[in-house]
Amino acid sequence: MTNSEPIIQVRGLTKSYRVYKKREGLGESIRGLFKREYKEVQAVKGIDLDVGQGEFVAFLGPNGAGKTTTLKLLSGVINPTDGTATVMGHVPWKRENEYRRRFALVMGQKNQLWWDLPAKESYRLHQQIYGVPADQFDKTLDELTSLLDVAKLLDQPVRELSLGERMKMELIAAMLHSPDVLFLDEPTIGLDVIAQHNIQEFLKYYQEKRKITILLTSHYMKDIAALCKRVVIIAGGRIEYDGSLSGIIDKFSSHKIITLQFPEGNQPSLSHHGEVLEETWPMVKLRIHRTEVPRILSTVLQQNPVEDISVEDLPLEDVIAELFRETSQSQAK
């Protein structure tokens, strides 16, 4: 879903794994040593995707949905079972040096820096690996350390840094060769609110300034809301949605939240109208199917004096969580 020339093109991309099926019990375990049974697990099931240059796209999905697998395929870390993909005209799993110099992958749970050395030493190694000219390297490093406010930490061993400081250093390592495409897998996982905000502000500023293409996976809706105009929802290895953040509610939310404020002393029974989420008289909050909102509001207003009314969409997190539950249940059948 992009109007610009796609920099990432994916067609029918599929990744399957052959997994050993372990049985319970000592006897079955012993038999399994001589005769093993395997099952096929499809992590990605034939997805199609176009991403334009300069887009900042979020990948949402429950654990095991295929988000990280997709990023690994697009970065050439693993090979697909079927399908095609090109990034900047390159087939990722061919692992061409020219392609490696033009993208970066940051995984929030993996370290690319030497644990016992200062980050500066790892950066020098990155400079040599990517063949970054000295003047360009120094200029980029100064810019990034200034933006992330970590210049004073460059000579400190990575193991002595906080989780938030380490993630900043990981981002710098990924940006030193000025990639055109950046894959981010849970970059703010485990970080406190302040560290998350700092990372968000840096990514937003840097992406707008450099116009690089970024694919981001995150379980934090604040990351998505702060950074991405486009959201791709993956569940069960398939793309279930590709569009705007606000469009998720329009497509998947079946309910509204109605808040009613009654005069003091007035306490009508409203449980038969919908799910009561909160009762703090004289205020009541109900969860009602969106098609029933006009009828129920008309009935309540006819039968009771009401001082104030508000009608709101369900929180985005609730809508997405419900979508994930429904997808999981349908796959289990």
Asked if the structure places residue 303 within a domain, the reply is yes
| Whether residue 190 sits in one domain with residue 176 | yes
Instruction: State the Cα–Cα distance between residues 37 and 40, nearest whole angstrom.
Output: 10
Profile the chain (333 residues) by mean pLDDT over runs of 10 residues: 76 88 66 70 93 95 88 96 97 96 89 92 94 96 95 95 94 96 92 91 93 92 90 91 90 91 88 92 93 94 93 88 75 58
| Whether residue 184 sits in one domain with residue 130 | yes
* Residue 228, CB-side half-sphere exposure with 13 Å CA sphere: 28
- Extract long-range pairs of 18-23: CB within 8 Å, 24+ residues apart: none
Give the global pTM: 0.84
Which residues are CB-contacts of 41 (< 8 A; sequence separation ≥ 6)? 16, 17, 18, 19
- Could you write out the DSSP letters of every residue in 179-225? -SEEEEESTTTT--HHHHHHHHHHHHHHHHHH--EEEEE-S-HHHHH
Burial class of residue 268 in the structure, from the number of CB atoms within 10 Å of its CB (0-12 exposed, 13-18 middle, 19+ buried): middle
Token couple for 186? 């849970």
| Whether residue 229 sits in one domain with residue 265 | no
Q: Can you give the CATH number for the domain in which 208 is found? A: 3.40.50.300
The total number of structural domains in the chain stands at 2
CB atoms within 10 A of CB 79: 12
Asked if the structure places residue 332 within a domain, the reply is no
Domain stops at, among 202, 217, 250: 250
| Whether residue 292 sits in one domain with residue 214 | no
| Whether residue 288 sits in one domain with residue 173 | no
Asked if the structure places residue 320 within a domain, the reply is no
| Whether residue 277 sits in one domain with residue 213 | no
Asked if the structure places residue 42 within a domain, the reply is no
- Residue-level pLDDT at 2: 46
| Whether residue 242 sits in one domain with residue 169 | yes
Instruction: State the Cα–Cα distance between residues 185 and 68, nearest whole angstrom.
Output: 7
Q: Which domain holds residue 275?
A: 254-313
| Whether residue 207 sits in one domain with residue 167 | yes
Asked if the structure places residue 267 within a domain, the reply is yes
Domain stops at, among 250, 267, 294: 250
**Residue among 244, 255, 249, 328 at smallest CA distance from 286:** 255
- Residue-level pLDDT at 329: 67
- Residue-level pLDDT at 185: 93
Asked if the structure places residue 16 within a domain, the reply is no
| Whether residue 233 sits in one domain with residue 109 | yes
Instruction: State the Cα–Cα distance between residues 333 and 329, nearest whole angstrom.
Output: 7
Asked if the structure places residue 205 within a domain, the reply is yes
Q: Can you give the CATH number for the domain in which 262 is found? A: 3.30.70
Instruction: State the Cα–Cα distance between residues 145 and 205, nearest whole angstrom.
Output: 14
Which residues are CB-contacts of 92 (< 8 A; sequence separation ≥ 6)? 73, 74, 75, 76, 85, 86, 99
| Whether residue 156 sits in one domain with residue 169 | yes
| Whether residue 192 sits in one domain with residue 129 | yes
Asked if the structure places residue 263 within a domain, the reply is yes
| Whether residue 234 sits in one domain with residue 259 | no
Domain stops at, among 250, 265, 280: 250
